[in-house]
Amino acid sequence: MALADKTADWWRGAVIYQVYPRSFQDTNADGLGDLKGITRRLPYIASLGVDAIWLSPFFKSPMADMGYDVLDYCDVDPIFGTLADFDAMMTAAHGLGIKVIIDQVISHTSDLHPWFIESRSSRTNPKADWYVWADPKPDGTAPNNWLSIFGGPGWEWDGVRRQYYQHNFLSSQPDLNFHNPEVQEAVLSTVKFWLDRGVDGFRLDTVNYYFCDKLLRDNPPHAPDETDAGLDAPDTNPYGMQNHLYDKTQPENIGFLKRFRALLNRYEARTTVGEVGDGARSLKTVAAYTSGGDKLHMCYTFDLLGPEFTAAHIRSCVDAFQKSVADGWVCWAFSNHDVNRHVSRFAKTEAERPTIAKLAMSVLATLRGSICLYQGEELGLPEAELAFEDLRDPYGIRFWPAFKGRDGCRTPMPWEAAKAHAGFTTAEKSWLPVPYEQAALSVDTQEIDPHSVLHHYRQTLEFRKRHPALLDGTMDFIGTNQDLLAFTRAKGSEKLLFVFNLTRKPAQFVPPGGMAIGERLAMPGFEREAGSGPIKLAALDAFCARVAG
């Protein structure tokens, strides 16, 4: 069972488990997961040893973007249950020592939200300025060159107002105008609704998208030699061809985040984690949003959500964060509901997937920061290959076949291999299919295998909790002449050395002069006998020891 930390900074070094509600557990045989299903599976989540769950949106929604188009911020969509079901789930989670973080999607709403229906009705109604509206150019085209992440222009024409409205995502997801103080007040009132209900924190979707440039200036193109580490969009999407100087990450956002934090500070032990998609500027943005202790508690970026699983890349990302964000905090993740599962991104063959899954978890658990796990990664699930007719994600449908979208990482959780839909639902059809290769990795199958990826996750999280240095201790990299990831974690009298060989060849590590290797620790999955001399590592191997003195 996870141990509940009642201190105000319980989030620092916490392990957060992301639940995608529609794919976790169905209890009413409609082919969709629900809140009662999450409640049913909470003992399983607790058995992993995590500190909190993050629930993807469950609010009332037309579901054009799977709930990221909100119709009512203060109610549960009937497909997931009721507010009473949410309360019951949260009570059960708290009883197991698990905090509850919910997804707040406040940069935009559904076009069916009452706010937008009123706003688009005229140019003079009380909410006329609640969304980003602009007149066309003289030739009738959009006000500027801003693009939608989901393809096409970032503007949609409205015939009633005879103006365009901005949408960073689908045209049915109009962007709120945060320059209007009334919008900020309305949004914060919905946040207060959930704080009063007892939630422990918020994951803020697209947290740097709240404000756009008041002058609506055109974005410049990306410089040819400019690298974009943010993975905001696949290279098949022209969105990535612009330098997004004006449609997001505006300086006014800092003031709103301070207001958000001030609201949270009126409650005990609450937290925020912001999603920052800002290309090459992500770390600079994270630094601005988490410094000073008066804005976000922590952020995560897309830096480790790409295809690279190398020592150089991981060190570069972590080192850059530590140099850029002196007093802020980060939440690291290899997978979530928006990117291909990392076992498929990192593994070169199907046979090495379990090894990669274990090694990646060991790396993640030893980095400085909080960590976020995405449901199913503890089973080593690969990305699902789906037919076009099975897709539900508008992003994938729009860019198929060059980009297959996000459905491959959102397929239902496989619980029992022998049952239809791997025990996710008793309905005739599930909202997304459960591929055979995922059903074969089901929870019940891995529970009886002591060497499974599932047991490795549990053992690794237990190892992490036993060593305070891994929760919030310092982290210092050690230079090597090979593609090895080597660093120390230290807190108080404890100093640990970690060495990871992420290559497919054996390697050896020679400790730097003056470093005395003490007791060698049995890191789960990578145990070794004590010895002397250079540390020898097999391919895709790991090593851990105490540093003496």
Output the DSSP codes for 58-72. Answer: -EE---TTTTSS-SE
Per residue in 117-133, pLDDT (tens digit) is 999 999 999 999 999 99
- Ranges of beta strands (E only) in 408-468 are none
What pLDDT, on a 0 to 100 scale, did the predictor assign at position 325?
81
Overall size of the chain counted in residues: 549
Tell me what pLDDT residue 531 has: 57
State the Rg of the chain over Cα: 23
Residue 244 tokens, joined: 């997004």
Q: Residue 145: which of 239, 275, 278, 34 has the closest Cα?
A: 239
**Six-digit token pair at 116?**
């937008």
Sorted by sequence, the CB contacts under 8 Å of residue 514 that are 6+ apart come out as: none
pLDDT at residue 8 in the model: 86
Give the span between the Cα atoms of 194 and 422, in whole angstroms: 33
pTM of the model: 0.96
Among residues 225, 230, 236, 270, which one has the least CA distance to residue 249?
230
Q: Are strands 201-204 and 99-104 parallel, antiparallel or unpaired?
A: parallel
Q: Which residue has the tokens 């985040």?
A: 257
* C-alpha closest to that of 291 among 329, 251, 252: 329
State the sign of the Cα–Cα–Cα–Cα dihedral 380, 382, 383, 388.
negative
In order of 250, 283, 326, 329, the CA distances from 291 in angstroms are 17, 12, 7, 8
Name which of 123, 116, 124, 220 is nearest 177 in CA terms: 116
Residues 6+ apart with CB under 8 A from 281: 230, 249
The fold adopted by the segment(s) 473-548 is Immunoglobulin-like (2.60.40)
Say what angle helices 353-366 and 453-466 make with each other, to 10 degrees.
10
* pLDDT recorded at residue 5: 44
Q: How much is the pLDDT for 67? A: 97
Phi, psi of 273 (to 5 degrees): -135, 120
Compute the distance between CA of residue 219 and CA of residue 404 in angstroms, rounded to an integer: 27
pLDDT at 391: 95
Tokens linked to 277: 């998609």
pLDDT computed for residue 528 by the predictor? 64
- Three-state DSSP at 272 gives strand
Which segments in the chain show pLDDT lower than 70? 1-6, 224-234, 528-532, 549
Q: What is the pLDDT of residue 223?
A: 75
Question: So which residues are the catalytic ones?
Answer: 205, 275
Q: Using alpha carbons only, give the angle 50, 343, 281 rounded to the nearest 5 degrees.
A: 80
Rounded Cα distance between 336 and 303, Å, is 13
- Which ranges in 159-212 belong to alpha helices (H)? 181-197
Angle at 305 between CA 280 and CA 247, to 5 degrees: 40
